[in-house]
Structure 1
Amino acid sequence: MPDSLHRRAVEMLGARIVNGTYPSGSVLLASELEEELGVSRSVIREAVRVLTSAGLLHSVKHVGSRVLPSEQWNPYDPLVIRWRLTGPGKNSQLRSLTELRVAIEPVAAELAALYAPHGFGSGLRVLAASMGVAADSGDLRAFLELDVEFHSKVLVGSGNEMFASLAGPIGSTLRGRAALGLLPEHPHGELTQLHMDIADAIATHDPVRARSSMELVVRRTMAGTSSVWAEQPRVFPGPASKG
């Protein structure tokens, strides 16, 4: 039960910060949050700790917890990503994540073709084949989860721990597209074939083909969703300050 209360407090407070209910500079008092959320002081302390680690809050001794500007939030934190994808800045967040995919995933596929251990590509082939079955049967939920697993495995297969750490944010991107209704109702065969091409290239240690096939996947994704964020301004953060 306590874990459930902690999660609920984190979700409620985090979502309110991201959607602007608690604007930047606001000071949150533990006593008021206890009453507002109907939870204990220990639950509030744990929620504040989680949100502080994500860069949303900064504790000020004898004052409370100050809401930090969005430029100081951890852009790779899966919770921050999820809240942004369901908040007023969802289109900008989707753009940032999609551009991250275009920059990183083709290189990750190339590295996986060069360095992934024996048998790694065979596992990707199984996933790609399963994606085709899910697409043919119209099971979008299964297709989405297989897609997330496929792209996460490619990042891990690169052998680069920094790329591997992006599996969470990129999985959030794929799920966020679905939540925003940006996935096709019936994924077309060409898309599933491109995933099989990536798997085959990695299995046969063909880095050029692996990179080019992944490039096609992520750039087609960008082309299909870029209209969503066409009018969104870009963010140019200044020097960080705790304020």
Structure 2
Amino acid sequence: MKTVLITGATSGFGKAMAEKFAANHYRIIITGRRGDRLQELEKQLADTYKVPVHALEFDVRDREAVFAAIEQLPPDFVTIDILINNAGLALGRDYFEDAETEDWEIMLDTNVKGVMYVTKAVLPKMIERKQGHIINMGSIAGKEVYERGNGYCASKFALDALSQSMRVDLLRHKIKVTGIHPGAAETEFSIVRFKGNAEVADKMYEGYQPLTATDVADVVYYTATLPPHVCINDLVLTCTAQANSFYLQR
């Protein structure tokens, strides 16, 4: 039985991915900041799919907490075959001069440094075994800059570069690295971005059918289950109505 670790698993893409892998008989490690949701999901996965599940409560921005949690994994969960760096967020949709610097810091610390911390903590055993797969959840905002996307786009462009760098550096260890970049998807993403303003968030998905968390989880699972000699390095995923960051048919 293979083991997958999914960060940011308490909602959206992360939760859908946890359910997808559990349904296919993977041992699951879920992480997140919200302990109540983690416990609920841990029980749901174990009861529904009858697979081993282990929950780790920490914020990926907290380097010490990240390393401590990974170091204290139970023996049955120590060998991680797939790491999915999913924890991430967008905060604010403001012109550069109006943006909150605290929002920038949270996005960069979560979307970039958090990925680096978790990957660094998990890597030693992958390197030791000369196998493993790291999947970094990016965004089309990391491919094309759009108006009022400043801090978020910067963080996702950095993550794209980081994924490419990991792929090159870890090649000699036979470790796969995949960057997956979804477009518009209806999850809690916009609620978080607009800081709880549901009215504004809902308008982002009016007039077309966006991706769902399940759509993205299906694609992630596909990339993770290819033969050992096949690696999808980079994948951009949108709904049919969206061509890129600029063109959307409503």
| TM-score for both structures, normalised by structure 2 | 0.26
Using CA pairs under 8 Å that are at least 6 residues apart, name the structure with larger relative contact order, 1 or 2.
1
For the pair shown, the structure with the greater C-alpha radius of gyration is 1
Looking at secondary structure, tell me which structure has more strand per residue: 2
Looking at secondary structure, tell me which structure has more helix per residue: 1
| TM-score for both structures, normalised by structure 1 | 0.26
